[in-house]
Amino acid sequence: MGKKMMRRIVSSFFSLVALVVMVFFLSRLTGDPAALFLPIDATQEMLDQFRELHGLNDPLIQQFGRYVWDVLHLDFGDSIRKARPAIDVVLESFAWTLQLALITIALVTALAITIGSIAAFRPGGLFDRFVSLVSLVGASAPDFWIAIVGIVVFSITFGWVPTSGTGTVWHWILPVAVLFIRPFGLILQVVRGSMLTAFGSAYVKTARAKGVGNRSIIFIHTLRNAMLPVITVIGDQAAAMLNGAVVVETIFGFPGVGKLMIDSILQRDFNVILAAIMVTALAIFVMNLLIDIAYALLDPRLRT
């Protein structure tokens, strides 16, 4: 297990380095930050001064060398747009995304596993059919539409929750609800399928024959064995959220890292793009490690 972990750490490190090198050079091919930062009728003198101030006139390889040297000294450069350290900007945003992702994925996991397991226990029953319908609708509904409808219904019509923003616990309800729906539908389907397979296995039949209660069969004997594919899907969904929930962040004015990355790409704020990629990649890497550990805990064969 230790060796596996080490191998993963080393391969993740090289992947991250390759990603940073690629993004560094490719992003610089896509446009000039001076033209985007300064107004469209800026004079040539202003453009030249801007490029000089931000080291954009130097050869690319020299810029890259300087960047690597600075990063090795934990200096990720300044955001051109915000005139402050890029890493501060990214960490502030990432904190919002992390909270949003953790809350949502915790709710999704708890509810999808519980409801999916119960639905699978009596396949074809009324509860199962209802759950399947709801989860399919949830998995295929567009975030944007749900968010706008949610605002119109719950904020404007009923006035129960604020339309958007941050500040109180009430502000989290709509964004979390919107973010919840799609992974909930997806994970619930996987839980249900995986549990159905497990219910058909010999050890469940034996347990039933021995008179073990339904609750024990579902939550003690079957669930643990059915969890491996579910954890994979949860990991994928959590990774997507850690990269930023762009639609939710944009509509609800959540200052998360997804919207920050999109804005930074559009504005060619290179240092922010790179810092955001490094932070999110690191988070996803840590999450993958946690998933590996979870696999090992659930399946003793993986511990060797």
Partner 1 sequence: MKGKRLLLGLMMTASAAASAWAQEAKDITVVLDEEVDLVEPCMATRSNIGRIILQNVSETLTELDVRNNKGLMPRLAESWEEASPGTWRFHLRKDAKFSDGSAFDAGDVKHSIERAMSDKISCESPRYFGDTKLETKVVDDNTIDITATPAQPILPLLMTLVTVVPAETPIEFTREPIGTGPYKLTEWKAGQSITLTRRDDYWGSAPEVTKATYVFRADPSVRAAMVAAGEADIAPLISELDANDAEMDFSYPNSETFYMRLDHSIPPLNDKRVRQALNMALDRDAFIGTLLPKGAIKATAIVPPTTLGWNPDVKVAPYDPEGAKKLLAEAKADGVPVETPITIVGRTNNFPNVVEVLEAAQQMFEEVGFKTKLQMYEVAEFEKQYSKPYPENRGPLLVAAQHDNARGDPVFSMYFKYDSNGRQSGIANPDVDKMIAEATAATGEARAADWKKLIAYLHDDVVADVLLFHMVGFARVNPRVDFTPTIATNSQLQLSEIHFK
Neighbouring CB atoms inside 10 A of 287's CB total 18
What is the per-residue binding string for partner 1 in 231-260, x denoting contact by CB under 8 A? -------------------xxxx-x---xx
Q: Per the structure block, which two tokens stand in for 217? A: 């069969």
Footprint on residues 263-302 left by partner 1 (CB under 8 A): 263, 266, 268
Task: Give the one residue of 12, 155, 225, 288 binding partner 1; rule: CB under 8 A.
Answer: 155
How far, in Å, CA of 146 to CA of 141, rounded? 7
Residues 6+ apart with CB under 8 A from 166: 96, 172, 253, 254, 255
Stretch that binds partner 1, among 15-23, 40-48, 128-136, 235-243 (CB under 8 A): 40-48
Task: Give the one residue of 58, 71, 75, 92 binding partner 1; rule: CB under 8 A.
Answer: 92
**What torsion do the CA atoms of 103, 106, 108, 113 make, to the nearest 10 degrees?**
-170
DSSP string, 46-73: HHHHHHHHTTTTS-HHHHHHHHHHHHHT
Q: Count residues near partner 1 (CB under 8 A).
A: 54
Minimum gap (Å) between residue 66 Cβ and partner 1: 20
- Please name the amino acid found at residue 84: R
CB of 244 closer than 8 Å to CB of 97:
yes
Task: Give the one residue of 26, 72, 74, 83 binding partner 1; rule: CB under 8 A.
Answer: 83
Per CB under 8 A, residues contacting partner 1 are: 30-32, 35-46, 49-50, 53, 79, 81-84, 89, 92-93, 96, 148, 151-152, 155-156, 158-168, 170, 250-253, 255, 259-260, 263, 266, 268
